[in-house]
Structure 1
Amino acid sequence: MLTVFAGALTAAVAAPAFAHCDSVDGPVAGAALRALDARNVNLALPYAPAIAEPEITQAFALAQAARGQGAEAKALADRWFMETVVRLHRAGERAPYTGLKPAGTDFGPAIPAAERALATGEAGPLTAMLAQGVEHGVAERMERARAAREAPSEPRTAAEVPHARARVSAEFAFIEYVEGIHQAMKGAAAHGGAEAGH
């Protein structure tokens, strides 16, 4: 029943939320650069699980040494260290790392809304946006499923089979969407205690 979980959640919140930490101007890469500038690896360590600390610390030392070799070496060292911290952050989330996204990448409205909620302490606009997205997604899929119910659920002839198949597909899409949102809510609660989660 969870085959369309990812699609359901994406439609519900209108953004690929987990991708935010992959961008050059995201919080993980920003922490990596701040650590290099301040010569303090501790600024980057909270963004990856504890098991990654030795690799980050070693990469930090190498990057610091390379930074002193000129502007080009500094740019390469900075990029490499950012990629290292982001890659290990993603590994801590059990998520794939596909490289740094460019600065200014649009990840949709959910991530900025979540960041505003954290900054202001006001969850109302965020929950309203999410509720509106879920309400729209449920209504749209339910309407499709209800319309498809004009077809028989148990076809008696070969000609009725494609219509019955469309009905089953629409009904399952609706149910899986709802179940995907429900599982996402349960998963978010469990993920809240995860180390260096995002």
Structure 2
Amino acid sequence: MPKSFLFAVVFGAGLTITAAAQAHCDAIGGPVATAALQALDTNNVNAVLPYVPATAEPELTAAFSQAMTVRASGSDAKGLADRYFMETAVRLHRAGEGAPYTGLRPAGTDFGPAIPAAEQALATGKVEPLLEFLAREIEHGVRERFAHASGDRPKEPMDAADVPVAREHVRQELGFIGYVEGVYLAVQGSGHAEGATASKDCGH
């Protein structure tokens, strides 16, 4: 089995998972923007500082002071100040992850079922529904890919006409193995944010 191909499958799956989590942090309703608004509403910048690296605290604190001053100028100014501070907080958070900032995603953006399930577990203090959800999803994923990969093995290609069928079977087999390995690597991953510079990290 070409290890480079398997690595590409697993690495690609990891990028998909990481990208979804990071995108969650870019949303107006995500944890970083929510903490930013909470900081403004309570006049307490400490509510959002845990989401950025320590080195970014001076910049975020200065932006907080500016936003609080502008907020006092009226409702229109308040909206602009809130947006500015949310964007600053998210940008600094993403920089702490070593990721680019591409703007705030709108509230209500659908990031799939996994992130809401994880948030619900944290909100309720109950992990069992999340475990059941993940178990169902993993079982479905394994069974679906296994069904495609475990069919009758085509004969060894003897001429060019036999190659396309054999190639598709190889693709299904390696896809199945890569999926299983990707799940295993995710399970074996550290429970703490790897390489994160902030104590709360959305991307890992």
Corresponding position of 1:36:
40
Shift of 1:116: 1.9
Task: Report how far residue 180 of structure 1 moved.
Answer: 1.4
- CA separation in 2, counterparts of 1:55 and 1:187? 32
Distance apart, 1:193 and its partner CA: 8.3
Q: Which amino acid aligns with 2:82?
A: D
Is residue 2:96 matched to residue 1:92?
yes
**Structural mapping, 1:110-129, within 5 Å:** 110-129=114-133
- How far apart, in 1, do the equivalents of 2:146 and 2:13 lie? 13
The one-letter code of the counterpart of 1:150 is R
Q: Which structure 1 residue ranges, 5 or more long, are not aligned?
A: none
**The one of 45, 49, 52 aligned to 2:53:** 49
Aligned 8 A contact 1:17 1:110 in 2: no
- Within the candidate set 3, 7, 19, 1:2 is matched to 7
The verdict on how the C-alpha distance between 1:98 and 1:5 changes in structure 2, with shifts beyond 3 A counting, is farther
Deviation (angstroms), 1:175: 1.1
Among candidates 123, 146, 154, match of residue 151 of structure 1 = 154
CA RMSD of aligned residues (A): 2.5
Quick one: structure 1 residues 89 and 130, their matched pair in 2 at CA, closer, same or farther if it must change by over 3 Å? same
Residue 75 of structure 1, aligned match among 79, 87, 107: 79
Judged with a 3 Å threshold, the aligned counterparts in structure 2 of structure 1 residues 77 and 102 are, in CA distance, closer, same or farther, namely same
CA contact (8 A) 1:49 1:196 kept: no
What SS class does the counterpart of residue 134 from structure 1 fall into? helix
Identity of aligned pairs, percent?
57
The equivalent residue for 1:163 is: 165
Superimposed CA distance per residue, residues 28-76 of structure 1 (whole angstroms, 9 cap, x where no aligned partner): 1111011112222111101112122122112112212222333222211
Measure how far apart 1:197 and its partner are: 1.3
TM-score by length of 2: 0.83
AA matched with 1:189: G
1:4 aligned partner, one-letter code: V
- State how far apart, in whole Å, the 1-side matches of 2:159 and 2:87 are: 58
Does the 8 A contact of 1:68 with 1:74 survive in 2?
Answer: yes
Whether the 8 Å contact between 1:9 and 1:181 is mirrored in structure 2 is no
1:164 partner amino acid: A
Aligned-residue offset at 1:140: 0.7
Deviation at 1:77, TM superposition (A): 1.3
The letter for the 2-side match of 1:60 is F
Gaps of 5+ in 2: 1-5
Range with bigger deviation, 188-197 or 55-64:
188-197
Q: Give the CA deviation at 1:8.
A: 4.4
CA deviations 1:126-171 (Å, max 9, x no partner) are 0110011011111111111112x4313x422111111111111111
1:190 deviation in Å?
Answer: 4.7
Please identify runs of 4+ aligned residues in structure 1 that moved more than 6 A. none
Q: TM-score normalized by structure 1? A: 0.85
Q: Structure 1's 102 and 6: CA in aligned 2 closer, same or farther, altered over 3 A?
A: farther
Letter in 2 for 1:122: K
